[in-house]
A and B are shown apart, each in its own frame.
Chain A
Amino acid sequence: MSPEKNESLRRQLESMEVAQQGISGAKRQGARQLGTLCILLAVVLGALHGLLHVFNPERNLGAFFVLCAAAVLAILALTFGYQFLRRLLPAGFGRKYLIGLGMSLLLYGLGLGLITAGLGAMVVVLLAIVVAMPLLFAGIWMVRQ
């Protein structure tokens, strides 16, 4: 292959790197946005889980329904807010978000089985943290990218 042709192919590779650097700023912003959503969702899910142990349906049915409705509204508001702001989703981040959310929801579901068990305050706080953990870790990792 002629040196000119080889040079032109090198330029192709260079132009790819320039394009990837060009989009890196938007990628960081996209990572921060999704990371923030994950952290906020983790806080909402963790707090809701803890509160459901305190205001469980056997103790206060009204408060239980109010809490559930408030959590659903908070999750919808966060999700719609994110959809409004979102312009770029970095490669692989959608999957990480779904894994974090899935694991947090799974732990949330498992923890629901204990809400009438009359657990101590420390255990309830610990459970809330455990529920929030997967999404929280995913969010912190994304924000740090």
Chain B
Amino acid sequence: MSGHPRARMNEDFTNPVRLSLMAALQQVDEVDFKTLRESLEISDSVLSRQLSALEEKGYVIIRKGFVGKRPRTWAKLSSCGQRSLDEHVQALREITGGF
């Protein structure tokens, strides 16, 4: 890896909600929408919008299913999302001196 770590920072993760979402997803194999919303203390609409944006970019995989008759939405990081987040965090740490 070469150049200034700034060049490895990912513009898609500069939004704080999106970065928090990615950080939370990094901790799990899979999590449902409600648990994610409660853990991050954000609204349905914000979570839905940010998840869709991350899914469009290929960072997150969304799975919709049913538990009994109730619909449930699951989210997890894709391998591309995991890699991109790792690079972003590594660059952040290098710039801030390993905070």
Contacts and interface: CB of A to CB of B under 8 A. Distances in A.
Question: How would you classify the secondary structure of chain B's contact residues: helix, strand, loop or mixed?
Answer: helix
A9 interface: yes
Given A1-B95, A6-B96, A19-B40, A94 B29 contact: yes
A94 B28 CA distance: 10
Interface residues on B, range: 20 to 34
Contacts of B67: 83-84
Contact of A9 (B22, B23, B28, B92): B92
Given A22-B41, A26-B39, A84-B68, A89 B19 contact: no
B16 A15 contact: yes
Contact of B28 (A22, A25, A27): A27
Given A22-B40, A87-B34, A27 B27 contact: yes
Contacts, number: 91
Given A9-B95, A20-B26, A15 B32 contact: no
A27 B39 CA distance: 10
A88 B20 CA distance: 17
A13 B89 contact: yes
A77 interface: no
A1 B14 CA distance: 16
A15 B99 CA distance: 12
Interface of A: 1, 6, 9-13, 15-20, 22-27, 30, 83-84, 87-94
Interface of B: 6, 13-14, 16, 19-24, 26-32, 34-36, 38-41, 67-68, 89, 92-93, 95-96, 99
